Amino acid sequence: MSGMSGSSSGSSTGSNVQKRVYLDYNATTPLAPEVMKAVEQSMHEAWGNPSSAHEEGARARTVINQARDDVARMIGAMPQDVLFMSGGTEANNVVLHCAVTHFRKWCLSQESPIYHHLRPHIITTKVEHDAVKLPLTHRYAIEADVTYLGVENLPEAVLESIRPSTCLITVMLANNETGIMFSVAHIGRLLAEVNKKRENEGLFKVLLHTDAAQAIGKVPVDVTDLNVDYLTIVGHKYYGPRIGALYIRGLGHKTPVYPMFYGGGQERGYRPGTENTPMIAGLGRASLLVHNNVQDYYASMKKTRNYMERQLKKVFGNQVKINCVDPCIASDPEACSIPPRGPKQQHFIFPRLPNTSSVSFYYRQVAGPDILRHCRLVQASCGAACHAHTEHQSILEASGVCSFHASRTIRLSLGRDTTMEEIDLAIQDIKQAIEKLIGRSV
């Protein structure tokens, strides 16, 4: 099973210096050794411009074509349905651009003038990554209507929110902060039936997008099973380089695609700009590793994650809560903004990524950022690296975590090669940090 060159880092100049324990793999991963080799080999052997007709250009094109094949194979797609992007942010923005642009063109093509000024409607969730939420908030706030849904009963809520003007549903496959996975495949099946009726009624076909950044490399991902029109791929989340790709079902004929900017004819004119061959080569190799090993990755990470959660319970007892798994019951019930028992309690349980634990501690004096500041070895986060702490709390609360727990949460996300010995070190480090904060033993 391929992984990384070492899952912890630190100085080795002194025997008394302990290595740090990296538990922030949802933020980013190191390059797998095989990926490093592919990138370096491409830099030496495929440095030509892929658009050039000579031998050096052909060699670079061959590398890119192989990488496209490997990315497509990883998600069960056709190679011609994959476009390389700078990363997930660009891919998500392209999806929004394509859906809105296609809806406008469709409206203008209709004979009845009632359609000509119809505003596009987009359905999404309150827990999406900022690469989806912020474009909707800023770029499309004036020109589109957006419905933001909670996470409970999501497939049914999505269907109930569809309007005649709905053009896009975008729901992440797995959340980066809690690790919970959403029923995108169920939404896809239901939407297929809805679109049959809409076609008969002469309405716009609703497009379905999922941001699979956090799921790929941890669980099997297949675009046919998901029944999506668009799927976002992010290399640095699965031991690849910091570029990405976008899957588009039946690119250009079944599913619309419009370039966001114009230039050369690269990527069939849909994503102009000279290709970054070495990074594309690395993305392809990372994708090949996932295709060949994802079941092993899943089993290994889940085993270590389950061990970590058992040890957390053993050390902290009733003072620790695994969010979206354990009931929302604090040791001090009055401190919890959501009643710990009764019909109003929000307790959502979902399938989770095998590597992610969103962990809350019940000590009044403790906040998530404070714990991490006092850790000597653990490198982790409270949530997404690109979110402010208040935004991180809102994501948790939208996932059914009460405000008391949300403010006392850290996210521990494991890698392919995280060991149980590292977990033991991490838990003891968290323990000493909390004891320092509360001024007593736990």
Which positions are annotated as active-site residues? 386
Q: How would you classify residue 18: left for phi > 0, otherwise alpha for psi between -120 and 50, otherwise beta?
A: beta
Identity of the amino acid at 112: S
d(CA 103, CA 119): 9
Beta strands in 158-298 (DSSP E): 166-170, 207-211, 230-234, 244-248
Of the CA atoms within 13 Å of residue 390, those in its CB half-sphere come to 0
d(CA 80, CA 288): 17
d(CA 152, CA 154): 5
Beta strands in 279-392 (DSSP E): 320-322, 356-361, 378-379
The residues, any chain, with a CB within 8 Å of residue 133's CB and separated by 6 or more, are: 124
Q: At what angle are helices 130-137 and 88-109 packed, to 10 degrees?
A: 40
d(CA 84, CA 91): 9
Tokens representing 25 are 């793999």
Which residue reads 């521990």 in tokens? 412
Give the strand pairing for 20-22 and 378-379: parallel
Quick check: 387 and 209 in contact, CB under 8 A? no
d(CA 194, CA 179): 29
- H/E element, 125: strand 121-125
